[in-house]
Amino acid sequence: MTSQLSLTRSPRRIVDALRGTGPVFSFEFFPPKSPGEARLLERTITELVDLRPTFVSVTDRAGSAAQGLTREVVARIGAETGLTAMAHLTCRVHSRDEMRAMLADLRDAGVENVLALRGDPPPGGPFVPPVDGFGYADQLVRFIREEGFDFCLGGACYPEGHIECADRAEDIANAKHKVEAGVDFLITQLFHENAYYFDFVARAREAGITVPIIPGVMPVTNLKQIPRFTREWGVTIPTRLLLALERCETDAEVFDVGVRWATTQCRELLARGAPGIHFYTLNRSPATRLVLEAIRTSA
């Protein structure tokens, strides 16, 4: 990672950036599982750092070969680029005692922002809370607050409803529990139809959720991603987008369609009051760079 950021620093706590005047832009990365993935991540961060995101976040891959690497990647990004960084933390494998130790470790490494999550269930099975651990994200949030950790805390939410929750009103009520337990902001699952976001925000406000809700956007960059979006996450691909993708004859055309769609999406989200955009980068820079440059140019 190169340290090219002599530019204005973002606030260290994401909640402070969200109180500012401009939109908040963030990039999500995942920690590498192999030397090849590590090189790709390093290159991507180097390529994206000049876009000066408000913050970057690093996912928790608990249960995989990258388990435990989140803290290291977050601390390294902070130290080497000066960017504000957030660690994701899931309930998947850790007991309360382990969680307490991990939170202390994050704090001691200078991490100020944590996205508190339950984590996905294992393939094909229900989520089983670890022994003496947590079954839902709101329990983790409450634990973090009760233990006196002073992190700026985020949580996840789902404009189309979480895949395990058949009732969207109940899903909103569950998101509200998370906020009541102490999250400062929410980041949404990706979506490709803005109506889901605007409708979700309206319902959340009606339910008394007042924290900022940052929309998560991921440009479609190849057709193989689509079954994962739809089957595993319950994310809809609008017919108009699907038809445009099906007409593509090359991977480059698919990429262009995905970038143009996401650019239009982001412009409308910001024009209609979204507090920023969280980009799911998949550890690659080109699509995020093109979309962010386009929306900044037109702002």
22 exposure class (CB count in 10 Å sphere: 0-12, 13-18, 19+):
exposed
Size of site (CB under 6 A) for ligand FAD: 23
Question: Which of the stretches 12-20, 143-151, 158-166, 201-209 binds ligand FAD when contact is defined by CB under 6 A?
Answer: 158-166
Binding of residue 174 to ligand FAD (CB under 6 A): yes
45: tokens are: 């961060």
Shortest Å distance, C-beta 279 to ligand FAD: 11
At residue 279, the 3 state secondary structure works out as strand
Gap between the Cα atoms of 2 and 213, Å rounded = 31
Nearest CA-CA partner of 185 in 207, 162, 159, 214: 214
Instruction: Name the residue type at position 192.
Output: H
Gap between the Cα atoms of 70 and 85, Å rounded = 11
Shortest Å distance, C-beta 151 to ligand FAD: 15
Contact with ligand FAD (CB under 6 A): which of 16, 47, 120, 199? 120
Catalytic residue among 28, 112, 160, 193: 28
At residue 140, the 3 state secondary structure works out as helix
Binding of residue 118 to ligand FAD (CB under 6 A): yes
Nearer to ligand FAD, 158 or 261 (CB): 158
Contact with ligand FAD (CB under 6 A): which of 216, 219, 258, 276? 216
80 is catalytic: no
> Pattern of binders to ligand FAD over 255-294, x per CB under 6 A?
----------------------------------------
Binding of residue 153 to ligand FAD (CB under 6 A): no
Any idea which residue has 């996912």 for tokens? 59
Residues 6+ apart with CB under 8 A from 65: 33, 34
Gap between the Cα atoms of 60 and 62, Å rounded = 6
Interface residues for ligand FAD in 44-73 (CB under 6 A)?
Answer: 59-60
Residues 6+ apart with CB under 8 A from 274: 23, 197, 213, 214, 215
Nearer to ligand FAD, 160 or 171 (CB): 171
Q: Are 206 and 217 in contact (CB under 8 A)?
A: no
Binding of residue 138 to ligand FAD (CB under 6 A): yes
Buried b (16+ CB within 10 A) or exposed e, 67-97: eebbbebbbbbbebbbbbbbbbbbbbebebe
Contact with ligand FAD (CB under 6 A): which of 162, 192, 196, 292? 162
Binding of residue 184 to ligand FAD (CB under 6 A): no
Nearer to ligand FAD, 189 or 288 (CB): 189
Gap between the Cα atoms of 213 and 241, Å rounded = 24
Shortest Å distance, C-beta 120 to ligand FAD: 4
Binding of residue 88 to ligand FAD (CB under 6 A): yes
Shortest Å distance, C-beta 243 to ligand FAD: 27
Question: Which of the stretches 15-23, 93-101, 174-182, 250-258 binds ligand FAD when contact is defined by CB under 6 A?
Answer: 174-182
Give the CA distances from residue 23 to residues 1, 62, 263, in Å, rounded to whole numbers and listed in that order: 25, 31, 15
Query: Any idea which residues carry the catalytic annotation?
Result: 28
By CB under 6 A, name the binding residues for ligand FAD. Answer: 59-60, 88, 90, 115, 117-120, 136-138, 156, 162, 164-165, 171, 174, 177-178, 187, 189, 216
